[in-house]
Homo-oligomer: A and B are copies of this chain.
Amino acid sequence: MDTTQSTDQERSADRRRRELLEAADRVVLRDGPGASMNAIAAEAGITKPILYRHFGDKGGLYAALAQRHTDALLDSLRAALDAPAERRERVEATLDTYLAAIEARPQVYRFLMHPAEGGQPGGDQGFDVGKLSAPLLRRMGEELGTVIEERLDLGPDSRRLARIWGHGIVGMMHAAGDWWLGERPCTRAELVRSMADLLWGRLAAAGDRVGGPGF
């Protein structure tokens, strides 16, 4: 009945859990975001119900996997953000870190980016709009927002402003990165510089083109 002497079994369960997650990782890396539970179970050398015992449902496995990668990526990003350098340099390093990560393992990040679909037939209608849209993006946005708020002096509304900017910048990074991955229109460094330029207000500062639209 007591909960104190379960260390042994918990250890074992945790180890299995990690093994399963690593297997899932391999499958996702190979098959992309559409990896099926069957495939993951097979890769782990077991069968489906075990996966479900460990993770509840596919969303659970998704969440666990997402947390692993999100943690890892966030650590890298934090390191870039905390580097002792000029702000511009830190921002560029952060952007580059993110892009390097998605460039190295695109399948994984494609898997992480979109929602779990959900849609239980018998259950609720699910009006929680965008509630659990993309965990990685959300966490990155929050994190970046926190960092911005910690580091910068933004006046009275700093909290709100920082969070908005956090999510906004992450979204910019993500969308531009996704597009860049598909089309490869330039080098990573160029992309980084261009995005930093955008954040540095070059859009606002640029001159109008001569001969405007029609008039």
**Assembled-state Cα–Cα distance A82/B161 (Å):** 28
**Assembled-state Cα–Cα distance A212/B34 (Å):** 44
Residue of B nearest to A132 (CB): B182
**Assembled-state Cα–Cα distance A190/B160 (Å):** 9
The listed residue (B125, B173, B201) touching A205 by CB distance below 8 A is B201
A176, chain B: closest CB distance, angstroms:
4
Copies of this protein chain in the complex = 2
Please state if B165 and A203 are interface contacts (CB–CB under 8 Å).
Answer: yes
By a beta-carbon cutoff of 8 Å, the part of chain A in contact with chain B is 31-34, 82, 87-88, 106-107, 110, 114-115, 117-119, 125-131, 133-134, 137-138, 141, 148, 150-154, 160-161, 163-165, 167-176, 178-182, 185-186, 190-191, 194-195, 197-210, 212-213
Cβ–Cβ < 8 Å partners of A130 in chain B: 106, 110, 178-179, 181-182
Residue of B nearest to A212 (CB): B151
Among A164, A181, A198, A213, residue most surrounded by chain B Cβ atoms (within 10 Å): A164
A179, chain B: closest CB distance, angstroms:
4
Report whether over half of chain A's contact residues are helix, strand or loop; otherwise say mixed.
helix
Please state if B179 and A195 are interface contacts (CB–CB under 8 Å).
Answer: no
Cβ–Cβ < 8 Å partners of A182 in chain B: 128-131, 133
Cβ–Cβ < 8 Å partners of A118 in chain B: 34
Cβ–Cβ < 8 Å partners of A205 in chain B: 201
Please state if A164 and B82 are interface contacts (CB–CB under 8 Å).
Answer: no
- Given contacts A34-B118, A129-B181, is CB(A198)–CB(B152) below 8 Å? no
A106, chain B: closest CB distance, angstroms:
4
A107, chain B: closest CB distance, angstroms:
7
Among A125, A182, A212, residue most surrounded by chain B Cβ atoms (within 10 Å): A182
